[in-house]
Amino acid sequence: MQRRNVMIAGGLTLATVATPALAQKVAHPHAGAPGQWRLIGTTHANHTIDHDGIVVAGPFDNFRRIKFKVTDASLNLYRLVVTYDNGAPDKIEVRQNIPRGGESRVIDLRGAGKRSVRRIDFWYDTKELLNGRADVTVFGMA
């Protein structure tokens, strides 16, 4: 009986640790002209307070600005952590309510396009529990 309880606890711990890894997406942005918005990636926000991440794979990953577009449900975007190729994190407090079909404000990044973006993590909660998950699309401008 005790061995069974240990196995169940171990399985629950593994599921809890592995769950955040499922929330990250790998994005491959395409080339684009400077000053033009380019798609970085899309993820699906759940009904609760949550954290998602988008791993940005090069070579077209130098961005000066980013913004978020939300569809299917409203979203409260709390904060971002943008990690650059040298491992330096850029912690940005956003605290913005984005309505369904709306966009966030334009967020200027440190380094003004001189550094490659490796990862974008963001923390949020959804406002409309009955309207499904919010699709969150991240755009970048070089």
53 or 25: which carries more pLDDT confidence? 53
pLDDT in tens, 41-89: 999 887 667 889 999 998 888 899 999 999 988 899 999 999 998 888 9
Burial class (CB in 10 A: 0-12, 13-18, 19+), 108: exposed
pTM: 0.78
Instruction: Give 2's pLDDT tier (boundaries 50, 70, 90).
Output: low
Q: Read off the tokens for 20.
A: 């955040």
pLDDT in tens, 109-137: 987 556 799 999 999 987 665 566 788 99
- Going from N- to C-terminal start, the domains of the chain cover 23-141
Q: Which residues contact 23 (CB under 8 A, 6 or more apart)?
A: 43, 50, 51, 52, 53
Architecture of domain 23-141: Sandwich (2.60)
Q: What is the Cα 55 distance to its own chain's centre?
A: 9
* Separation of alpha carbons 128 and 32, rounded Å: 34
